[in-house]
Amino acid sequence: MKLTVVKIGGNVIDNPAFCEQFLKDFSDIPAPKILVHGGGKIATQVAEKLGIETVMVEGRRITNKAMLDVVTMVYGGLVNKSLVARMQQFGDNAIGLTGADGGVILSKKRPVKTIDYGFVGDIEKINSSFIASLLAQDIVPVFAPLTYDKEGNMLNTNADTQAQAIAVAMTEDYEVNLVYCFEKKGVLSDPEDDDAVIAVLKPADYEHYKAEGAINKGMIPKLDNAFKALTDGVAQVTICHAKEVKLAVKDGIAGTKLVGA
Ligand SMILES: Nc1ncnc2c1ncn2[C@@H]1O[C@H](COP(=O)(O)OP(=O)(O)O)[C@@H](O)[C@H]1O
Ligand SMILES: CC(=O)N[C@@H](CCC(=O)OP(=O)(O)O)C(=O)O
């Protein structure tokens, strides 16, 4: 059976009209389906209002106790529950989850090497049968980028990584289609030109664009996750504009399609 996993980034969630249109389009995608959301931009804004400084290293948020409280409130509360309510309006019977709920995504606090990321979790295990049981009831799971460990901590986990890990875990029972949605038309060969979309991206091309600097910043961890999903058994991986989610799911012709070597 086919399963669609869609990840939606913080720049889309932060724009109410854009986000609402995305959720409307998402509601037209046939079940079974899963939504994974980010919200990094909103966490940064809320932290600033509270006088808490944001520090990012290689696209990952340094998460001290004060920042953990912010991301738990923002991702697990505000963003997750607002999405769920809007999805209910559009007819998707959504259920909002952090990785701690139902013990669904167990992780391990990232060990301190040169950098102490604080309360950041690296995923160890996903309870795919719990997720499958929700899907079997026609429920749409909506995951916040939060996981938990065996020591009783909530942990902050990058949403792109979480989407990849969920998609891979679900390949046990489903043919999985993973779509990363964001605010650009796809992976661009020239980051200054919004229309320079790379239609099909191979690992060798990725290395080339990365080396010349055309692919940089947040796109690097996103593509590392996207290629890992493909290597680990996800049938189709696309990176596209949130406005094109239906096209990407239907026939994979939107944005950038990833292919193996
Ligand atoms: N070649 C590229 N094509 C598209 N976006 C790129 C590229 N290189 C860097 N980026 C940047 O990567 C960002 C996406 O990564 P990120 O901010 O982590 O997204 P999200 O919050 O959706 O996960 C884009 O907003 C863009 O600024
Ligand atoms: C550990 C870590 O960095 N977690 C991310 C989780 C949110 C996220 O990934 O949001 P976007 O998809 O909108 O970027 C963060 O706190 O920014």
Ligand 2 atom 10 nearest Cα: 38
Question: Would the pTM count as exceeding 0.90?
Answer: yes
The best mutation among 13, 71, 160, 184 to test binding of ligand 1, ranked by most ligand atoms within 8 Å of the C-beta, falls on 184
User: With left for phi above 0 and alpha for psi between -120 and 50, is residue 242 left, alpha or beta?
Assistant: alpha
For the residues of 215-237, what is the DSSP string, one character each?
S-TTHHHHHHHHHHHHHTT-SEE
- The residue segments making up the domain with residue 232 are 2-258
- pLDDT for 80 equals 98
- pLDDT for 253 equals 85
- pLDDT for 58 equals 85
Chunked into runs of 10 residues, the chain (261 residues) has average pLDDT values of 96 95 98 98 98 94 98 98 98 98 98 96 98 98 98 98 98 97 97 96 97 95 97 97 96 91 78
We report the CATH number of the domain holding residue 167 as 3.40.1160.10
- pLDDT for 59 equals 86
Q: What is the ipTM of this complex?
A: 0.98
Ligand 2 atom 6 nearest Cα: 158
The ligand whose atoms approach the alpha carbon of 68 most closely is 2
**Ligand 2 within 6 A of 60 CB?**
yes
Give the distance (Å) from ligand 1 centre to CA of residue 183. 8
Number of folded domains in the chain?
1
Question: Whose CA is closest to 230, among 255, 202, 211, 258?
Answer: 258
